[in-house]
Each structure stands twice: as C-alpha cells, then as structure tokens.
Chains A and B, each alone.
Chain A
Amino acid sequence: AAGVIQSPRHLIKEKRETATLKCYPIPRHDTVYWYQQGPGQDPQFLISFYEKMQSDKGSIPDRFSAQQFSDYHSELNMSSLELGDSALYFCASSRYGDLETQYFGPGTRLLVL
C-alpha cells in the first residue's frame, strides 16, 4: 500500500540558510500534519492543513511557513535556519473523516551546521 512520502530524507544546511521540505500524503488523504522531533524529544505538532487551508497551528516558529497544494502535497519552508532547528521533521496524513488515523512518513532529518 502507498505510504506518505517525504523528501528529501536527509538535508544539511548552514545557519541562516533556507530549506524546503516536501510531503506527499497517501492517495485520497486530504489532511496533512507536520511534526518536529528534536534529539531525545517527542514529536511536537507544528501545523496542519485540510483542503489547502490551515486547520491548526502549534509551536511553529514565525521563520517557518507551510502550505498545501491542489494535489494535497504540502511543503514546509524554513528560513533563517538556526542550530536548534536540527531535528527530524515528520509529515502525517489522514482523511478528514478519520482524523484519528494518522499515517506518518519516514521523516526528513535536517542538520543545521
């Protein structure tokens, strides 16, 4: 069965650079969530989208923005990267009628040097 696809899987950036993470949800899933998991931490909710509209917002820094496109894929844009942004970034997807069942992608590991 198709799963959530995230790209790139690994990313190395320098401080103050920008990064774009992409997420392709499971086919027919219309809701996308972004989570950040720092080293030794639990995943923290960043932001979610339903039908291309932001549906919920968590602890996402102002330096980050995200959107969902007409094909339901989502991109997380990160600017002015800081060392503390080094983390695993997971995307999850679900169907709006079944928000309880969220499927996680393999994550993008971002390292900021």
Chain B
Amino acid sequence: RKEVEQDPGPFNVPEGATVAFNCTYSNSASQSFFWYRQDCRKEPKLLMSVYSSGNEDGRFTAQLNRASQYISLLIRDSKLSDSATYLCVVLSLTTDSWGKLQFGAGTQVVVTP
C-alpha cells in the first residue's frame, strides 16, 4: 500500500468551474505537506505548502486534516493552463527519513474550453 494515496482522475473540468480533490497519507508522523504540479514530461513544481489552518494562494486553496490524515486542494475559476497532474507530497523528518519527499501517484486535471 502506498504511503500517499490519490484518486488518479482524470477530472474533466469546464473552464471557469471549481474542482476539488484530496489525498490520504498513512504515516501519522508526517510533518509537512505539499501540493506539487507536474506538466507532461516536466519536473514537479511546488504549487503550495499545506497547513492545518488551511491556506489560500489566489485561486488555489489547500487544507490539511491531521486527525483524518487527508489533504485537499481546491481550484476555483479553472483556467486552461491549470491542466496538469497534481501530486500530493508528504515529508517526514525522522531518523529513518530525513528530507525525502513521498509522492502520491498524482491526480490528473483536464480543463476544457
């Protein structure tokens, strides 16, 4: 079982609509959480960090629920350029795992005109 689980999608979203998806993680000792964006054949790029209090960056809102061990991402007013794979990423800083990022399999989002 993967440590980070995501719905692979694809989520087909009309331009201007809102889309939300989440992921779950299994290691309760995980300390930091992120959403990365990856375009086809390109490197992952940090979209935003995720905090328990919830955080917003423009049209993107991320939320962390530590009790249920899930992380969510909501995209408002979707743009065509939002089409990508969104990777849920978890970081644990322990003696066994210092700095390595654990990736989910990614959720594909396709924004259509």
Nearest-neighbour CB distance to chain B for A87, whole angstroms, equals 12
The dominant DSSP class at the A interface is strand
Q: Which of B14-22, B58-66, B73-81, B94-102 contacts A (4 or more CB under 8 A)?
A: B94-102
Nearest-neighbour CB distance to chain A for B85, whole angstroms, equals 9
B6, closest chain A residue (CB) = A42
Between B44, B87, B93, the greatest number of chain A beta carbons within 10 A of the residue's beta carbon is seen for B44
The verdict on A45 contacting chain B, using a C-beta distance below 8 Å, is: yes
CB-based A-B contact count at 8 angstroms: 56
Cβ–Cβ < 8 Å partners of A103 in chain B? 46
Q: If A88-B41, A104-B43, A106-B43 touch, does A99 touch B99 (CB 8 Å cutoff)?
A: yes
Of B34, B42, B100, which one neighbours A45 at CB under 8 angstroms? B100
| Docked CA distance A100–B97 (Å) | 13
Cβ–Cβ < 8 Å partners of A44 in chain B? 103
Of A42, A90, A106, which one neighbours B104 at CB under 8 angstroms? A42
Interface set of A (CB-CB < 8 Å, partner B): 31, 33, 35, 41-45, 48, 55-56, 58, 88, 90, 92, 94, 99-107, 109
16 further A-B contacts with Cβ under 8 Å, apart from A56-B98, A100-B34, are: A33-B100, A42-B103, A42-B106, A43-B103, A45-B102, A55-B98, A56-B99, A90-B44, A99-B93, A99-B98, A100-B91, A101-B46, A102-B46, A103-B46, A106-B42, A107-B42
18 sample A-B contacts, Cβ–Cβ < 8 Å, listed by A number: A41-B105, A42-B104, A42-B106, A43-B87, A43-B103, A48-B98, A48-B99, A55-B99, A56-B98, A56-B100, A58-B100, A92-B101, A99-B91, A100-B34, A100-B49, A102-B99, A105-B43, A106-B43
